[in-house]
Structure 1
Amino acid sequence: MTIRVGTASPHTQATTKLTLAHLEGIARRAADRGVDILLLPEAFIGGYPRNATFGAVVGSRSAEGRESFAQYFEKAVDLGDTVGEGSAGAGLRWVRRQLPGYEEGGRGRGDGTREELERIARETGVFIVVGCIEKAGGSLWCSVPYICPREGIIGKRRKVKPTGTERIMWAEGHPSTLRAVSTVIRGQRVNLAAAICWENYMPLLRQSLYNQNINLYLAPTADGREGWLSAMRTIGIEGRCFVVSSNMCVPTEANANMSLPSDAGLAAMAALGDRDVVPNDGGSRRGFGTAAGAEGVRDASPPSPSRARHGRRKSVFDEDGNEIVLSCPAENGDTTQEQQQQHLPRVQEQETPEQTPQKKSASYLSRGGSAVISPFGDIVAGPQWEDSDNLLYADIDLRDCIRGRLDMDTAASYARNDVFRLTVDGLDFDPLPY
């Protein structure tokens, strides 16, 4: 029995309403293609303000930069959570709606984004994991909620270590939010957790996820460099888990159209304001697997081969080590990605341009690179370069995680827990069940 995991490389839209409508369209397309779990990029809702400075230098901040931050803050979503001790939020009290405002007859909490995300998951039958910029009190967090079609939000990450100049705009989340979550899809137990962007370069953080017996490792990111894929393959091998990575593909022209925050674009986005929109794609509702193993309807059409963009391009690196692509040769062609191992049956597909027209651009602020990796480090779908429109998905057999632990289990037999010990404040390492 397999489940289908999917991802894409969409970029943030000009307003939260537009971004949520875009997310709903992607989720409905994913449902039509039988995707059970969908991962979308870091900061997809709220935006990753690449190249924004907020007027901050050592020892000085500008009035213009403070105004830019205020406008970015206004674009962030209020999920109804609290700041919490150590920036942990209210934890399970928030998840279970036990905070003031959620009682019968209460006015509710937040700006309605939580309820909108839960509606999208419920109506499409897709388990959604998406990056968002969350506000509580006067601070922002880079967060990732886990949204179940049956139960609504069952957990939420807050990034524990913003990287480089991200620390100017985002607060540090508490490590207790590293708690993995568990669900049952098509009769299979899925234990999943997310590490956000360069958290994936923190060895002890990775180990804290492995220790919870995860079989699906999610890596929403803003890193569009080719070297990122090497880290994802290492994590698959190291954790003996499937890895799904998702990063925005952002053409330079899209940033100019205010779909991604920047110092110049923030004021224009604020002036644009929200407007009513229709989701960009339709789709039928689909059943979702239960503990009893009930199955939804899968797309019966044969998969098309995965297609990936390749080619050399000119680029520079900013002070934080982020690659900024200056140009991409027009002669780059699509190439078919072969399956990596015959003993791992997979369905992998990236929609063809005939299904969804693909934008062409000479340059990118971020090239994407979303991918699915096996517990043996094989690329089973992707990487998805220079494509912000299409879905990428693969059928995965979670028993491969157990097969891989024949010779290596990083959290148990291979860990030498008699001599090496890891403790994380607020995190219980009792492994999740199979």
Structure 2
Amino acid sequence: MSPTTIRLGTASPSTQATTPETIAQLEQIARRAASKKIDILLLPEAYIGGYPRGTHFGCVIGSRTAEGREEYLRYFQNAVDLGDTVGDGAGAGEAWIKRTLPGDAVLGSNETRKEPAANKRGDGTREQLERIARETGVFIVTGLIEKTGGSMYCSVVYVCPKQGIIGKRRKVMPTGTERLVWAQGSPATLRAVSTTIRGVRINLAAAICWENYMPLVRQSLYSQNINLYLAPTADGRDTWLSLMRTVAIEGRCFVISSNMAVPPTSSSTSIPQAISNGHPNDSSAILTEETDHDDDDGNTTIFSDHHPSPFAPKHHSNRRASCLTTEGFEIALPRPKSPGAPTATSTTGRNTPSPTRTSSSTVNTFTPSSKRRTSVFDEDGNEIVLCCKKPSHAATSQPQPMAPPAPRVASRREGIASSGEWVCKGGSSIISPFGEVLSGPQWEDNTGIIYTDVDFEDCIRGRLDLDTAGSYSRNDSFEFRVKGLDLSPLPY
């Protein structure tokens, strides 16, 4: 090994059934990493606490459900308390890192008024992570869901084997509906940290998931003279690797990306077991009690005993069947002609149209009466009556109720797996400052560890022709600053 060679490693484990089990798994992974002489180990976004993939917490615009609130309660309970404050999204900063905040002693508990020990804050997760790093000798960086002040943050902690936690990130911009359950962290937490391993100084910082698509976030890290860029994520698409290669070339730094690989089994989800991983309107959530029927045009209709609306009573003899549009509006459906006819809940929930067929609308060939003309529903749920088209033989011989399309279920590329597919494929990888893939991507492997030996002087070699935060940035013409963040470059 060269004097400047460091072994970098990552893995793609999925969150376990409970937070204590996840931390126990993290310890096992760290011990395995130590046996492979890995110096720095990165684990996925939201690994501790869980990434709520596919969960909606019973929310649509203008409405919430009691079940969704209970689900949120369970998710909050699985988040960890690191003993930090809100601090405008930045936490207490150095005061928290150096343990100078007052303790958590509560009058009336077994703590006495004379024992407000500063090291007794939070639920003990911080102390567990520091112990694991200390005992294994591995510098651990892991994603977790942190709770404080009634809010949750998607965070990352840097755990040094010698000094304990030396820094913490909070995601500055939760993506899409992540904003429903995660608060925005302060850009002040983008501050990089340093460690020294075998005489090699490593300046490292993390951008979480789609923060990596924010050019100014990336530039804020490059500006601090980092040579190790960490990207814990929940993005399992093939396109993610190309972004990581771009980051490595841009910053002339080593890049480690880590993402959960969640297998296609009912017991393995990317969130703790107490949290549901399905949407009540998703076809995947009711698949076991459904049957389907293909008409003469190849359209599939799914028949189910489940009511498609989570807001409607499940047992009401006088209530007509209904469905919800993507905007959350409930639409009453025509009654079946025969009392025993099943209720059609979706015409698009099972089959994906081939590229040669139009996927923007669904044709209704089942007519409730011989006088009704064939119609089509567009993606917004609007019914359009077609002219001069006769119903098919199947439609006239066996009348069925007409149904607008159910709310669209996300495809595998959007992160929701169908039966038999991995919920998330993973894709953890390690990239060189020249954009070369050194290890990975680690697809559909939630047990292995990937690692590689790197020479950190490659970062300086790469800056011969590209220093994105130096003269190449034309800092004589462009001025870059981030409110609340010290962009002073760390020394080599």
TM-score when normalising by structure 1: 0.78
Pick aligned residue for 1:31 from 16, 34, 46: 34
Matches for 1:207-218 after TM superposition, within 5 Å: 207-218=219-230
Structure with the greater relative contact order (CA < 8 A, sep ≥ 6): 1 or 2? 1
Cross-structure match for 1:428: 486
Deviation at 1:60, TM superposition (A): 1.6
Residues 35-58 of structure 1: CA deviation (Å, up to 9, x unaligned): 000000000000001100001111
Q: Would you say the 8 A contact 2:55–2:277 is kept in 1?
A: no
Deviation at 1:425, TM superposition (A): 1.1
Cross-structure match for 1:97: 99
Matches for 1:396-415 after TM superposition, within 5 Å: 396-415=454-473
Query: How far apart are the structure 2 equivalents of 1:378 and 1:47?
Result: 31
Paired residue secondary structure (1:392): strand
Stretch deviating more after TM superposition (40-49 or 52-61): 52-61
Pick aligned residue for 1:12 from 15, 32, 51: 15
**Off by >6 Å, runs of 4+ in structure 1:** 314-317
Aligned pair in 2 of structure 1 residues 412, 140: CA closer, same or farther (>3 Å)? same
Query: How far apart are the structure 2 equivalents of 1:185 and 1:78?
Result: 29
Pick aligned residue for 2:246 from 234, 238, 247: 234
Residues 396-424 of structure 1: CA deviation (Å, up to 9, x unaligned): 10000000000000000100001111111
Q: Would you say the 8 A contact 1:47–1:261 is kept in 2?
A: no
Cross-structure match for 2:264: 252
Query: How far apart are the structure 1 equivalents of 2:481 and 2:261?
Result: 37
Cross-structure match for 2:402: none
Residues 335-356 of structure 1: CA deviation (Å, up to 9, x unaligned): xxxxxxxxxxxxxxxxxxxxxx
Superposition CA RMSD, Å: 2.2
> Does 2:376 match 1:373?
no
Q: Would you say the 8 A contact 1:52–1:262 is kept in 2?
A: no
Query: How far apart are the structure 2 equivalents of 1:418 and 1:258?
Result: 46
Pick aligned residue for 1:74 from 59, 73, 77: 77
Query: How far apart are the structure 2 equivalents of 1:425 and 1:218?
Result: 22
Cross-structure match for 2:209: 197
Stretch deviating more after TM superposition (257-266 or 160-169): 257-266
Query: How far apart are the structure 2 equivalents of 1:259 and 1:199?
Result: 21
Query: How far apart are the structure 1 equivalents of 2:453 and 2:163?
Result: 24
Q: Would you say the 8 A contact 1:129–1:146 is kept in 2?
A: yes
Pick aligned residue for 2:185 from 160, 173, 176: 173
Pick aligned residue for 1:139 from 145, 151, 154: 151
Q: Would you say the 8 A contact 1:52–1:261 is kept in 2?
A: no
Cross-structure match for 2:282: none
Q: Would you say the 8 A contact 1:317–1:323 is kept in 2?
A: no
Paired residue secondary structure (2:176): coil
Aligned pair in 2 of structure 1 residues 241, 254: CA closer, same or farther (>3 Å)? farther
Cross-structure match for 1:318: 410
Query: How far apart are the structure 1 equivalents of 2:246 and 2:409?
Result: 24
Paired residue secondary structure (1:130): strand
Aligned pair in 2 of structure 1 residues 162, 262: CA closer, same or farther (>3 Å)? farther
Aligned pair in 2 of structure 1 residues 208, 262: CA closer, same or farther (>3 Å)? farther
Q: Would you say the 8 A contact 2:208–2:232 is kept in 1?
A: yes
Query: How far apart are the structure 2 equivalents of 1:224 and 1:258?
Result: 12
Deviation at 1:265, TM superposition (A): 6.1
Which letter does structure 1 place at the counterpart of 2:439? A
Unaligned 5+ residue runs, structure 2? 105-114, 279-351, 354-407
Query: How far apart are the structure 2 equivalents of 1:407 and 1:45?
Result: 40
Residues 63-105 of structure 1: CA deviation (Å, up to 9, x unaligned): 2111111110000000000011x21100111000010029884
Aligned pair in 2 of structure 1 residues 19, 211: CA closer, same or farther (>3 Å)? same
Query: How far apart are the structure 2 equivalents of 1:409 and 1:203?
Result: 15
Q: Would you say the 8 A contact 2:145–2:153 is kept in 1?
A: yes
Aligned pair in 2 of structure 1 residues 38, 188: CA closer, same or farther (>3 Å)? same
Cross-structure match for 1:270: none
Stretch deviating more after TM superposition (115-124 or 362-371): 362-371
Identity %: 65
Mark the structure with the bigger radius of gyration. Answer: 2
Query: How far apart are the structure 1 equivalents of 2:277 and 2:180?
Result: 18
Cross-structure match for 1:296: none
